[in-house]
Amino acid sequence: MTVIGPCSIHDPVAALDYAQRLKVVADQTADRLFIVMRVYFEKPRTTTGWKGFINDPRLDDSCDMGHGLQVARQLLLQIAELGLPIATEFLDPIVPQYTADLISWAAIGARTTESQTHREMASGLSMPVGFKNGTDGNVQVAINAIQSASIPHRFLGIDPEGYTSVVTTEGNPNTHLVLRGGDGVPNYEKPEVVAATERLEQANLQPSLMVDCSHANANKVAANQINVWNSILEQRKEDSCSITGAMIESFIEADNEKIAGQRQYGLSITDPCIDWETTENMLLG
């Protein structure tokens, strides 16, 4: 499985343009890749910054969340109608009530993997969920999260009518580890993958994991994702390889710009991405 797409969604028109291009490549590679589009509307922040399209869809601090939810769901429907599976990161525990029916795979990010609220939420989601290792590279926190999300929980939430209620979950059996590196140190190479796999087995968990080609694994340099991708492909040649998925940050144009910039079409306003030409070469090569 390859989860690929922009770091974050800020322009629904450009996102749909990207989705249409990706669908063509997904069909061409269907015999060897299961491509899922990364469609991230929420952005966790270490300190401050734009919190994502749902929180502030107009990028002007007006924070019209009702509009953000409406347009986000409309975009998800348009992408789903293309026949392209969708991946997202769930941050606000209320948001899944509005979007989860259109999501095929979900992530719990490095900053929230240790959060009890997000582990409880994941236990009730109806799609596979990947837990990222901590921002410091700690894999154990993600393993703990996988174990927690696999069992039933009860917690306060909202029901289908929008009322506060006690939510009871059955536990999510389809959770797994995502290696994203940490503190500037990558963990995508074979020794780190083998070590993480052994820790999963010691915890009696399925020895299956995803590698995030971006973030600390790429030292926050978009072009370095190519090296990580090539390493994954090389490791996959071995029968014992536990890597079953990869994540890539990609958009129409390469790199990124500040949110207060010129807003070039198809250019990320959060993390830098590889461009579409590079994306095609990686997936089709």
Residue position matching structure tokens 């030409």: 277
What letter represents residue 165's amino acid? S
In whole angstroms, give the CA distance from residue 121 to residue 94.
9
- pLDDT band of 185, cuts 50, 70, 90: very high
Residues 95-130 have pLDDT tens digits of 999 999 999 999 999 999 999 999 999 999 999 999
For the stretch 208-224, pLDDT in tens is 999 999 999 999 999 99
As a whole-number percent, the residues of the chain with pLDDT over 70 amount to 100
Output Rg (C-alpha) for the chain, integer angstroms: 18
Q: Using one digit for the tens of pLDDT, what is the confidence trace for 132-179?
A: 999 999 999 999 999 999 999 999 998 888 899 999 999 999 999 999
What is the arithmetic mean of pLDDT over 261-265? Answer: 86
Residue 33 has a pLDDT of: 98
Structure tokens at 265: 């079409």
pLDDT tens-digit series, residues 38-88: 999 999 887 888 999 999 999 999 999 999 999 999 999 999 999 999 999
Average pLDDT on 222-235 reads 98
Q: How far apart are CA 42 and CA 49, in angstroms?
A: 12
User: Which segments of 47-153 are extended strands (E)?
Assistant: 86-89, 105-108, 129-132
Burial 207-232 (b: 16+ CB within 10 A, else e): bebbbbbbbbbbeeebebbbbbbebb
Q: What pLDDT was estimated at residue 262? A: 78
What is residue 239's predicted lDDT score, i.e. its pLDDT? 86
- Could you tell me the pLDDT band of residue 264, with boundaries at 50, 70 and 90? very high
**pLDDT value at residue 34:** 99
Q: What is the pLDDT of residue 47?
A: 83
Domains of the chain from N-terminus onward: 2-284 (3.20.20.70)
- Is residue 261 over pLDDT 80? no
Give the pLDDT of residue 228.
99
Longest dimension (CA), the chain: 52
Q: How far apart are CA 220 and CA 184, in angstroms?
A: 8
**Closest C-alpha among 90, 188, 89 to residue 139:** 188
